[in-house]
Structure 1
Amino acid sequence: MNKILIGAIGAVALGLSAPASAADLAARPYTKAPAPMIATIYDWSGFYIGINGGGGSSRKCWDFVAPTVGTLFADGCHNAVGGTVGGQVGYRWQSANWVFGLEGQGNWADFSGDNIGTTTALRNRSKIDAFGLITGQVGYAWNNVLFYVKGGGAVVGDSYRGYTVATGLEFDRASETRWGGVVGAGLEFGFAPNWSVGIEYDHLFLGNRTIAFAGSGNAAALGAFTRSERIRQDVDIGLVRVNYRWGGPIIAKY
């Protein structure tokens, strides 16, 4: 009898404790699956427009051309240096990491310098007032960093003056628009989806031209021919550039 009573009490106790144990088990929390990582790729494709500014130096060497015989006599060299500001517009397209482009650029400039002619004894002064570049580009991009090289045609606006050393008065003058070639390289950084900033170096090959001068200022015969000078020049330019691009936004790649 006692065994039966003890067994019954144990069964009741077991039945009562089972629901309590189940209730004590905490519910498993819901965990959201982690979102896939997104890698952003900067796309350099599209049209762009921008501004630039910097400085440059033009190496000019003058040779006096003797009348009738055309013999050249060295008339000295100088560096015409100064600042420049301008703008550029272009288009780029990207294939994998390679970037290709076309660009037109126009700048105002004030590259000036002078020397006293070893043959003419005049103070020969030169100035580049403006220049333009039409170039193609090939570059390689590391996401939002682009290194490129460029090459094409260049044009500059040159003016020349001759001054009498003793008086400092203008004696004669000439001007020209000179065409040549350009090569350069740049490094550009995309700091926003459509904005980039960069630095660029350009070298202009402008060869030599024979320029006819005419009397002005202090000359005895204004407008009359005074001399011919063969002037050769190259130009080195360093620029900081800021571009705004439309088209080809940042691409999100999963």
Structure 2
Amino acid sequence: MKKLLTSFAAFTALTAAASAADLPRRAAPPVFVPVPVFTWTGFYAGFNAGYAFDAGSFDGTTAVVASGASGIFRNPGLVGGNGAVIYSDRSSQEGFTGGGQIGYNYQFTPGSGVVVGIEADAQYVDFGRNRGRNAAFIGTPNPDLTFINPNGLSSLDFFGTVRGRIGYAFDRVLFYGTGGFAYGSGSADRSFGGFRGNDSFRTGYAAGGGIEYALPTDSFLNFFRSSAVTLKVEGLYVNLDRTAASDVFAVSNSTGLQFRTNTPYATTTVGNTRGRDTEFAVIRAGLNYKFGSY
């Protein structure tokens, strides 16, 4: 009997051990890896292209009448001994623009929140190559003279801005407004016969806004392994200082003598001489490479 009880106890112990071995093992809890939250904070650089068009108005006509007896015109046989040159300035400015930008953004709360920043850009612009060249001559002008449009119109070859930006981000989408300092320069292309005046540097202001979207880091556009590639569409209004007007309508190539509308040589009979602000709007698309915080 004693042996039977001992055998039964041993069998029970072995059965319990086998059952315990069959129980599922307790696995270690998984390691939690937080999903990174996108932030607009960081430096960026990129390029853009678009179209710029006139946002101002200019509709002036100047007619200068000069005496043939004064030597300005070679044909003194005109009625009354007079000749005339008439300037028609009914023109606008528009054309392609493109360039690059660099800036820095700071986002107060990653994910969604307020974003502030600063951006500088430099742009080529194709404005006014043929502005102010519409002229009509009555009589035969002296070939020693270069006739200049006294309205002070000028082309614009490039412009740039330094602007602040403020906006609100919804994760990878940023809506923003922008404004600040603007500058530009172009040749004072106011004459006929190939003469070009000195470059005219002007300053003013710019304001606008846009929308920007950040692509994933592994985007096929991320050639520089930046923390993000962003695409933007932006509208900008630019106003540069008034270009200078002059009452000079002709210059002697041999002596440098200037003939003005308020001298005995000529009188202004139609319109007036005046300058104008360079005002234009820009619609452009851009691509930025963001470096810094992820």
Does the TM-score normalized on the shorter chain lie above 0.5? yes
Structure 1 position 13, deviation (Å): 6.7
Against the structure 1 CA distance between its residues 15 and 171, is the aligned structure 2 distance closer, same or farther, given a 3 Å change threshold? Answer: closer
Partner Cα separation in structure 2 for residue 147 and residue 213 of structure 1 = 48
Out of 70, 92, 95, the position equivalent to 2:105 is 92
Out of 275, 285, 288, the position equivalent to 1:230 is 275
Aligned runs of 1:18-167 on 2, under 5 Å? 19-20=14-15, 22-24=17-19, 26-36=22-32, 38-59=34-55, 61-64=58-61, 75-96=88-109, 97-112=113-128, 121=136, 127-161=155-189
Provide the residue aligned with 2:202 in structure 1.
Answer: 178
Matching residue's letter, 1:146: L
Out of 263, 286, 290, the position equivalent to 1:241 is 286
Q: CA RMSD in A?
A: 3.8
Matching residue's letter, 2:116: F
Structure 1 contact 212–225 (Cα < 8 Å) conserved: no
Q: Please state which structure has a larger fraction of its residues in strand.
A: 1
Which moves more between the two structures, 44-53 or 204-213? 204-213
Q: What percentage of residue pairs aligned between the two structures are identical?
A: 25
Compute the TM-score of the two structures, normalised by the length of structure 2: 0.61
Q: Secondary structure at the match of 1:231?
A: coil
Structure 1 position 185, deviation (Å): 0.8
Against the structure 1 CA distance between its residues 213 and 246, is the aligned structure 2 distance closer, same or farther, given a 3 Å change threshold? Answer: farther
Q: Secondary structure at the match of 2:14?
A: helix
Structure 1 contact 61–78 (Cα < 8 Å) conserved: yes
Matching residue's letter, 1:111: F
Q: Deviations over 1:102-160 (max 9, x none)?
A: 22211122133657889x659x8853200011111111112222221111121122335
Structure 1 contact 64–229 (Cα < 8 Å) conserved: no
Provide the residue aligned with 2:252 in structure 1.
Answer: 221
Matching residue's letter, 2:236: D
Partner Cα separation in structure 2 for residue 173 and residue 64 of structure 1 = 20
Against the structure 1 CA distance between its residues 170 and 18, is the aligned structure 2 distance closer, same or farther, given a 3 Å change threshold? Answer: same
Structure 1 contact 56–84 (Cα < 8 Å) conserved: yes
Structure 1: give runs of 5+ residues left out of the alignment: 68-73
Which moves more between the two structures, 184-193 or 44-53? 44-53
Structure 2: give runs of 5+ residues left out of the alignment: 65-86, 138-148, 218-226, 262-272
1:212 is the counterpart of 2:209? no
Corresponding pairs, count: 229
Structure 1 position 54, deviation (Å): 2.0
